[in-house]
Amino acid sequence: MLEEKISEINSGFNQDIATIKDQKQLEELRIKYFSRNGLVSQLFDELKNASKEEKPVLGKSLNTLRTDLTAKYESVKIQLENSKEKEEDKIDLSLPGTRRIIGSKHLITQTLDEIKTIFKGLGFSVVGGPELESDYNNFSALNFPPNHPARDMQDTFFITEDFLLRTHTSPVQIRVMEKYKPPIRVIMPGLCYRNEAISSRSYCVFHQVEGLYVDTDVTFAELKGTLVSFAQQFYGEGLKYRFRPSFFPFTEPSAEMDITCFLCHGKGCRVCKHSGWLEILGCGMVDPNVFGNVNIDHEKYTGYAFGMGIERTALLKYGIDDIRIFFENDFRFLRQF
């Protein structure tokens, strides 16, 4: 009889467990079969009444039954738990995450950083100088004679007759050459001021990077090589360039460097004024008069210098058509870069 009951309970359990859908039903199942008064326990109670001969056999069957059923119960329990976890896992991944705000440097600073990185790689140091300068450092020491029309090339904001807002970063050249002995290889970034009419192409303040290299064997050929290397790193390989004679009082010979207009690839467009070329910087060999003003022997040493405007460079590189936007600090602009 007991044996029949065993198989009865076994099949009954199998039927029951197949219908289990949740924890509650599972608990009911556990109580029904495995609790103190549950069906399986009852069978063990009944075992006491079995004959001595039957007892071992039945006991074994009962144990097997309990092990089987417990195993099945456990496996369903795990299944249920897993599926419960999955239920909880079903979160809406499409909801937006919590963003962290990372700010950014001004586009001008970013452009300056790029330029700085390239020149540091070419062995240049980085130094600065004041914006409120003496007329001597800004002009006279740089071989702009007083009362000379060359001064008209740079409209100047004066503070007094002898002090002014620097019109270029070149006075830092004077400061550096007064302070250090050659070899000197530095770039000098900074803010400059010009009293020019404000328009989409020109603003009264702007940034420049000045470069200076003074040593015993510095030549125009090296100047060309260095600047071409810079331009290729900054604007991209394979660009065409040219050096055009120009005039700056503090360099001689002087040149302006043009690269192929990267908007029209040299065909001529509005940006390059239909010339196919874009002027990117001015440069030249340090004028012996400048060396004289800072007591460097111009027979022994030669040097080159160059300077470029950062706003103009950034305008070209990012396709911005109004220079004034750099100083307006519209948050919607600042966040774009």
Partner 1 sequence: MKVSLNWLKDYIDLKGIASNDIVERLTMSGLEVEDVVDETAIYKDFIVAYVKEKKKHPNADKLSLCIVNTGTEDLQVICGAPNVESGQKVVFAPIGTLIPKGNFKITKAKIRGVESYGMICAEDELDLSDDHSGILVLDEKVNVGKSIADELSLNDTVMEIAITPNRPDALSHIGVVRDLAAIYNKEFKLPSLKLHESSHKIKDFASVEIEDSENCPRYTAMVVRNVEIKESPEWLKNRLTKIGLRPINNVVDVTNFVMYELGQPLHAFDLDRLAGHKIVVKSTEVESTFTTLDSKERKLPAGTLMICDGEKPVAIAGVMGGENSEISNSTKNILIESAFFNPASVRKTSKRLGLSTEASYRFERWVDPSGTLFAAERTAQLIAELGEGEILNGVIDVYPEKIVEKEVPLRFERIKKILGYSVPNEKVISILKRLGLKVKFESEKEFRFSVPTYRSDIEREIDLIEEIARINGYDNIPTISKISISLGEKVDESSFVDQTREIACSLGFYEMLNNPLQGESLAEITGNRIQVLNPQSIDMAYLRTSLIPGALSVVAKNINVGEKTLHLFEIGNVFNLNPDKEKIESFEDFTEVQKLLFILTGKENEKTWQQPEKSFDIYSLKGIVDSYLLRLSLDKVVADSYYNNEETIFDLYYTKSYKGKILGTGGRVKKELLKQFDIPQDVYCFEFDLNLLKSIKSEGRKYKEPLKYPKSIRDLAFVFDKSVTYEQVIKFIWQMSSELLKSVRIFDLFENPSLGENKKSMAFSLEYFSDERTLTEEEIEKEFSKLISEVSKKFNATLRGT
If you count them, how many residues does the chain have? 337
Which residues, 138 to 177, sit near partner 1 by CB under 8 A?
147-150, 152-153, 157-160, 162-163, 165
| Nearest residue (CB) to partner 1, 15 versus 147 | 147
Asked if 247 interacts with partner 1 (CB under 8 A), we say yes
What is the x/- site pattern for partner 1, positions 196-225, by CB under 8 A? --x----xxx---------x-x-xxxx-xx
Of 240, 244, 265, 270, which lies in the binding site for partner 1, with binding defined by CB under 8 A? 244
Round to whole Å and give the CA distance between 230 and 185.
Answer: 15
Round to whole Å and give the CA distance between 232 and 229.
Answer: 5
Q: Nearest distance from residue 113's CB to partner 1, in Å?
A: 7
- Could you tell me if residue 237 is left (phi over 0), alpha (psi between -120 and 50 degrees) or otherwise beta? beta
Q: Which range, of 4-12, 20-28, 30-38, 195-203, touches partner 1 by CB under 8 A?
A: 195-203
Which residues, 43 to 62, sit near partner 1 by CB under 8 A?
none
Beta strands in 28-126 (DSSP E): 125-126
Q: Nearest distance from residue 16's CB to partner 1, in Å?
A: 44
Beta strands in 66-110 (DSSP E): none
Asked if 245 interacts with partner 1 (CB under 8 A), we say yes
Q: How many residues bind partner 1 (CB under 8 A)?
A: 83
DSSP assignment letter at 158: B
Asked if 136 interacts with partner 1 (CB under 8 A), we say no
Asked if 330 interacts with partner 1 (CB under 8 A), we say yes
Round to whole Å and give the CA distance between 27 and 40.
Answer: 15
Q: Return the exposure string of 67-97: e unless at least 16 CB atoms fall within 10 Å of the residue's CB, then b.
A: eebeebbeebbeebeeeeeeeeeeeeeeeee
The token pair that represents 13 in the structure block: 């359990």
Asked if 114 interacts with partner 1 (CB under 8 A), we say no
Which amino acid appears at position 17 of this protein? I
Minimal CA–CA distance to 258: which of 233, 237, 283?
A: 283
Q: Nearest distance from residue 202's CB to partner 1, in Å?
A: 12
User: Facing residues of 207 across strands?
Assistant: 191
Specify the pairing of strand 241-248 against strand 251-260: antiparallel
Residue 282: enclosing H or E segment and its boundaries? strand 277-286
Of 1, 24, 53, 103, which lies in the binding site for partner 1, with binding defined by CB under 8 A? 103
What is the x/- site pattern for partner 1, positions 310-329, by CB under 8 A? ----------------xxxx
Asked if 96 interacts with partner 1 (CB under 8 A), we say yes
Of 202, 246, 263, 266, which lies in the binding site for partner 1, with binding defined by CB under 8 A? 246
Asked if 130 interacts with partner 1 (CB under 8 A), we say yes
